[in-house]
């Protein structure tokens, strides 16, 4: 990390970081989207006007404001405006529906809820009304504005909880993860320290800004003073024009992104799919070693992969100066200030980037050990050089395209299907998605004329039950009997993973 970035990383709050960067490079761009450009100076100026508009609506320091918005410049402005006021904000992934959104609104006790209106064929405003949300306002392309002179002083400390993020974890209901400005700055600093960008770089935000990666990435932009292109909808090859037009040098997101870029590259071997690209970087899902080597070999760029979670946005990250073996087989090294301890094979963490706990105090007590280390539920080991290798998970959670999916939630819903006697949902290795969701069903005895249970029938049933689209199974296996242990007759999921890992339907 260079001297300027190191000095900025000591900022007490996100708003202080915005101000210090705006003073340094007010005319340099920070966010690019289509034909629009937002500079660091404009970020501070416009976010402060939006903060005044929010203040006029009744938003005060400590007011809980939920927002479910796509990856747009307006979303970033709203988020920083809330940081200026000192509100507690709770971002919600745009493709979440009634089940998750209703839970988040109830548990956070949100007093306001910003939505995009109708977006991608779904009416978010109607859903908010259906859920009885308070203070609903649309913030897709129009934001409230006012005179900044009405605002109180910005927050002066960054250790109070002002962020509630949501993760499925290992249970059916999401968990509210509590973050501070300082924990988010520390997470972004970890990412920046590993990737070592320069002011000449151009990054990209092609994932939901409501993900914990949103502030993680934005902090890196503020520390190093370079811009990123925002993609409201990411799909290849359509998005390639944006990458090329803006000269993106750093791209990525998760394993799924690597696979998609590689697939495009294979359509034109020997001709760079993004001529300016020098680095793919990401995390959030397992990275097959063979995928790493294929990207480097065929795309001619470096690939650095990391390890993070909603509770700790950046834990380790591969660095461009790591060896090829370390980049391919490990999750990188932790930065200064991140302590990693391996206890009975489990990865445990302590440091400023670690969350303050959960909304539910009982979950907090369970998650941290007596020395204050967070129990991740992930299994791993540290190499002699300090690189982390993940070897599995204690949690029964599937990571698909960087998003945690609870197997139990899907199983609980499928148990209500009239044709299902028992079910086990497992994650199977997938080069494109990291993991794919596979439902293995033991059916009840059916009459001969009964229709065969199909994947389409299963996903239709789950949709009707309100399950989010990104959690739907992509593979169905129907069996006479699920494999079980002899003692307690528990389903042996590891046998299902072994049996179906090589099959794709």
Rounded mean pLDDT, 245-255? 92
Residue with tokens 């925002």: 230
pLDDT of residue 1: 78
Q: What pLDDT band is residue 291 in, cutting at 50, 70 and 90? A: confident
Rounded mean pLDDT, 363-392? 93
Per the CB < 8 A criterion, the answer to whether 349 and 338 are in contact is yes
Spatial distance between the Cα atoms of 193 and 319, rounded to a whole number of angstroms: 9
Q: What pLDDT band is residue 172 in, cutting at 50, 70 and 90? A: low
3-state SS, one letter per residue, for 125-181: HHHHHHCCCCCEEECCCCCCCCCHHHCCCCCCCCCCEEEEEEECCCCCCCEEEEEEH
Q: What pLDDT band is residue 485 in, cutting at 50, 70 and 90? A: low
Rounded mean pLDDT, 306-316? 94
The CATH code that applies to domain 3-391 is: 3.40.50.12780
Average pLDDT score over the chain: 92
pLDDT of residue 360: 95
pTM > 0.95: yes or no: no
pLDDT of residue 171: 42
Rounded mean pLDDT, 349-358? 97
Does position 286 have pLDDT exceeding 90, yes or no?
no
pLDDT of residue 159: 97
Rounded mean pLDDT, 419-433? 91
Q: What pLDDT band is residue 444 in, cutting at 50, 70 and 90? A: confident
Does position 504 have pLDDT exceeding 70, yes or no?
no
Does position 487 have pLDDT exceeding 50, yes or no?
no
Spatial distance between the Cα atoms of 161 and 155, rounded to a whole number of angstroms: 12
CB atoms under 10 Å from CB of 337, counted, come to 13
Spatial distance between the Cα atoms of 296 and 185, rounded to a whole number of angstroms: 30
Does position 278 have pLDDT exceeding 70, yes or no?
yes
pLDDT of residue 340: 97
Q: What pLDDT band is residue 189 in, cutting at 50, 70 and 90? A: very high
Does position 488 have pLDDT exceeding 60, yes or no?
no
Rounded mean pLDDT, 104-124? 97
pLDDT of residue 486: 46
pLDDT tens per residue, range 75-96: 999 999 999 999 999 999 999 9
Q: What pLDDT band is residue 395 in, cutting at 50, 70 and 90? A: low
Q: What percent of the chain stands above pLDDT 90?
A: 78
Per the CB < 8 A criterion, the answer to whether 134 and 64 are in contact is no
pLDDT of residue 47: 98
Give me the residues paired with residue 302 across strands: 279
Segments making up each domain of the chain, as ranges: 3-391, 398-500
Q: What pLDDT band is residue 188 in, cutting at 50, 70 and 90? A: very high
Q: What pLDDT band is residue 38 in, cutting at 50, 70 and 90? A: very high
Rounded mean pLDDT, 131-155? 98
Does position 225 have pLDDT exceeding 60, yes or no?
yes
* Strand bridging mode 88-91 / 36-39: unpaired
CATH superfamily for 398-500 is ANL, C-terminal domain (3.30.300.30)
Spatial distance between the Cα atoms of 14 and 156, rounded to a whole number of angstroms: 10
pLDDT of residue 168: 59
- 3-state SS class at 31: strand
pLDDT tens per residue, range 378-394: 888 999 999 999 876 67
Cβ contacts of 331 within 8 Å, gap of 6 or more: 283, 305, 306, 307, 315, 316, 317, 318, 380, 387, 388, 389, 390
Rounded mean pLDDT, 46-50? 98
Does position 403 have pLDDT exceeding 90, yes or no?
no
Does position 452 have pLDDT exceeding 90, yes or no?
no
Among 115-119, 436-440, 498-502, the least confident range:
498-502
Does position 106 have pLDDT exceeding 90, yes or no?
yes
């Amino acid at each position: 990390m260079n001297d300027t970035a190191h000095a900025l990383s000591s900022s007490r709050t996100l708003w202080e970081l915005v101000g210090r960067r705006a003073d340094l490079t007010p005319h340099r761009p920070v966010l690019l989207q289509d034909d629009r450009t937002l500079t660091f100076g404009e970020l501070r100026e416009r976010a402060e006007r939006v903060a005044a508009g929010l203040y006029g609506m009744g938003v005060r320091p400590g007011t809980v404001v939920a927002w479910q918005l796509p990856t747009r410049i307006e979303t970033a402005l709203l988020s920083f405006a809330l940081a200026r006021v000192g509100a507690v904000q709770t971002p919600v992934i745009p493709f979440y529906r009634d089940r998750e959104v209703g839970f988040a609104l109830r548990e956070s006790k949100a007093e306001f809820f910003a939505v995009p209106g109708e977006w991608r064929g779904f009416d978010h405003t109607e859903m908010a009304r259906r859920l009885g949300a308070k203070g609903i306002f649309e913030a897709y392309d129009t934001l409230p504005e006012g005179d900044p002179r009405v605002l109180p002083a910005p927050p002066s400390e960054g250790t109070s909880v002002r962020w509630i993020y949501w993760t499925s974890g290992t249970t059916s209901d999401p968990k509210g993860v509590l973050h501070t400005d300082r924990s988010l700055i520390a997470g972004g600093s970890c990412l920046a320290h590993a990737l070592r960008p320069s002011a000449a770089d151009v990054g990209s935000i092609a994932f939901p800004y409501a993900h914990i990666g949103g502030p993680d990435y934005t902090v890196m932009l503020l520390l190093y003073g370079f811009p990123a292109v925002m993609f409201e909808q990411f799909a290849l090859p359509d998005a390639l024009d944006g990458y090329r037009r803006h000269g993106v040098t750093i791209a990525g997101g998760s394993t799924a992104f690597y696979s998609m870029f590689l697939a495009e590259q294979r359509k034109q071997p020997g001709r760079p799919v993004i001529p300016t690209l020098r680095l793919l970087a990401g995390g959030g899902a397992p990275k097959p070693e063979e995928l790493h080597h294929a990207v480097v070999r065929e795309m001619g760029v470096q690939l650095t992969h990391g390890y993070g979670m909603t509770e700790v946005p950046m834990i380790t990250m591969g660095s461009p100066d790591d060896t090829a073996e370390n980049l391919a087989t490990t999750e990188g090294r932790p930065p200064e200030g991140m302590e990693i301890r391996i206890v009975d094979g489990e990865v445990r963490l302590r440091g400023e980037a670690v969350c303050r706990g959960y909304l539910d105090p009982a979950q907090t007590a369970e998650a941290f050990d007596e020395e204050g280390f967070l129990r991740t539920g992930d299994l791993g080991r540290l190499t002699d050089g300090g690189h982390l290798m993940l070897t599995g998970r204690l949690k029964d959670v599937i990571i698909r395209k960087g998003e945690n999916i609870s197997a139990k939630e899907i199983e609980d819903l499928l148990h209500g299907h009239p044709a299902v006697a028992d079910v086990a949902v497992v994650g199977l290795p997938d080069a494109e998605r990291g993991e794919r969701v596979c439902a293995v069903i033991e059916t009840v005895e059916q009459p001969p004329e009964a229709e065969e249970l199909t994947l389409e029938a299963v996903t239709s049933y789950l949709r009707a039950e309100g399950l989010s689209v990104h959690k739907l199974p992509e593979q169905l296996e129907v069996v006479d009997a699920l494999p079980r242990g002899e003692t307690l007759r528990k389903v042996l999921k590891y046998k299902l993973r072994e049996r179906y890992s090589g099959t794709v339907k």
